[in-house]
């Protein structure tokens, strides 16, 4: 059953994955308005709910096993839907196991370190899911589109000269390889928004008073760099989609579809990791048996020694009864078939 689910998910997300080594040209290769023809918006809530349930189940096991961690990197143009995606996709997951870190313009302290430092400080621990709302990829996106930001990074001349982006791609790839080798899966999601949908979402922020706080005139001014960002994203996808940490390009013009895609990629990653609840050894089982006997001996007069066990047994009995009915039904059906045959044979005789 789980294998079937995993196979279906793998098939669904395959077209979103950037093949390692592929040269990407966003405008040509990925349509921000795409939705799968077999999915309808009216079913979106139910599908997302199913994804959320899978995430909750696997996150609990991930935490219990305490061996693997997951880092989710979310990148998008402004109004791409990062915040809403996190809110919806992670809605059913135990908040203790998930940390969200947002990255804004770096502080003076952050600029005083290497460019990966502030991201390394926020990595998830084993058993945790860490979400980067913007990530180390800003270092090859906004910093590339605005070269003055690179100047502010106080780099020695050789570290900001020619070939700086190629070098950063290599450094990022090996950092992610190192994390993967050490038990941390890196999942990279680019919410791919169209320029027209961004315009509409900005207007919504202007027109709706409860969204005014989210609007920034600077974000709207940044639209004049749209083509530079598209080029930077294309180059980033081309050079940093690796076997160990591939990029997924999520069509983001339809929020309902984007959320289903993100949920599918995350569920698939967790299933691939396949975390399990740790099994206890014989000594621990013996311990549990002794504790049980002690607790049962403490039952007050008239109380069941172990009310929970009684509950389990009732549940099991109900299930057993259900099975008997199924058996009985099969028997009935068999008898009906026999009777029909007999009736037919007698009809022929008559
Ligand atoms: P927001 O996510 O809308 O709150 O905006 C955060 C802002 O911080 C965006 O305009 C980003 O481009 C900017 N930002 C994030 N990381 C960096 C960075 N490494 N260098 C410069 N600006 C950044
Ligand atoms: Mg913003």
Q: What is the 3-state secondary structure (H, E, C) of 174-234?
A: HHHHHHHHCCEEEEEEEEECCHHHHHHHHHHHHHCHHHHHHCCHHHHHHHHHHHHHHHHHH
Q: What is the pLDDT of residue 1?
A: 57
State the distance from the centre of ligand 2 to the C-alpha of 107, rounded, in angstroms. Answer: 17
Q: What does residue 196 show for φ and ψ, rounded to 5 degrees?
A: -70, -40
Q: Which pLDDT score, from 0 to 100, does residue 345 have?
A: 75
Predicted pLDDT at 5? 82
CA of 20 to the centre of ligand 2 (A): 30
Question: Is 198 buried (19+), middle (13-18) or exposed (0-12) by CB count in 10 A?
Answer: buried
Q: Which atom of ligand 1 is nearest to the CA of 141?
A: 12
pLDDT at 348: 63
**Block residue for tokens 């308005």:** 33
Collect the ranges in the chain with pLDDT lower than 50: none
Cα 103 to averaged position of ligand 1 atoms, centre (Å): 6
**Rounded Cα–Cα distance for residues 134 and 86 (Å):** 12
The Cα-based distances of 194 to 67, 199, 229, 344 in angstroms read: 39, 9, 12, 68
Residue 117 CB less than 6 A away from ligand 1? no
Ligand 1 pocket check for 16: Cβ under 6 Å = no
Neighbours of 253 (CB within 10 A): 22
Q: What is the DSSP letter of 115?
A: T
Nearest protein CA to atom 15 of ligand 1, as residue: 104
- Give the pLDDT confidence score for residue 48 in this predicted structure: 92
Partnered with residue 189 across adjacent β-strands are 74, 248
């Amino acid at each position: 059953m789980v294998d079937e689910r995993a196979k279906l998910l793998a098939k669904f997300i395959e077209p979103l994955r950037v093949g390692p080594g592929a040269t990407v040209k966003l405008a040509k290769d990925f349509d921000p308005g795409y939705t799968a023809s077999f999915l309808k918006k009216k079913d979106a809530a139910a599908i997302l709910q199913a994804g959320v349930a899978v995430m909750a189940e696997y996150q609990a096991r991930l935490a219990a096993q305490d061996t693997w961690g997951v880092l989710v990197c979310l990148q998008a143009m402004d109004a791409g839907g990062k915040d809403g995606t996190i809110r919806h996709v992670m809605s059913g997951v135990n908040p203790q196991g998930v940390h969200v870190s947002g990255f804004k313009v770096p502080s003076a302290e952050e600029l005083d370190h290497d460019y990966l430092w502030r991201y390394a400080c926020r990595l998830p621990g084993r058993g945790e899911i860490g979400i980067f709302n913007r990530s180390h990829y800003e270092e090859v996106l906004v910093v590339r589109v605005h070269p003055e930001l690179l100047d502010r990074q106080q780099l020695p001349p050789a570290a900001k000269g020619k070939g700086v982006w190629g070098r950063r791609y290599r450094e990022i790839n090996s950092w992610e390889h190192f994390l993967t080798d050490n038990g941390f899966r890196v999942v990279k999601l680019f919410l791919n928004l169209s320029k027209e949908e961004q315009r509409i979402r900005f207007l919504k922020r202007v027109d709706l008073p409860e969204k005014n706080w989210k609007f920034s005139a600077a974000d709207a001014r940044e639209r004049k760099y749209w083509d530079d960002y598209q080029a930077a994203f294309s180059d980033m996808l081309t050079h940093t989609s690796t076997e160990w940490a591939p990029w997924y390009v999520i069509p983001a013009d339809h929020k309902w579809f984007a959320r289903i895609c993100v949920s599918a990629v995350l569920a698939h990653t967790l299933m691939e990791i396949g975390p399990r609840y740790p099994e206890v050894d014989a000594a621990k089982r013996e311990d549990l048996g002794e504790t049980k006997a002690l607790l049962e001996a403490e039952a007050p007069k008239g109380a069941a020694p172990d009310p929970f066990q009684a509950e389990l047994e009732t549940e099991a009995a109900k299930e057993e009864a259900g099975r008997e009915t199924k058996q009985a039904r099969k028997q009935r059906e068999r008898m009906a078939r026999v009777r029909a045959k007999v009736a037919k044979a007698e009809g022929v005789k008559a």
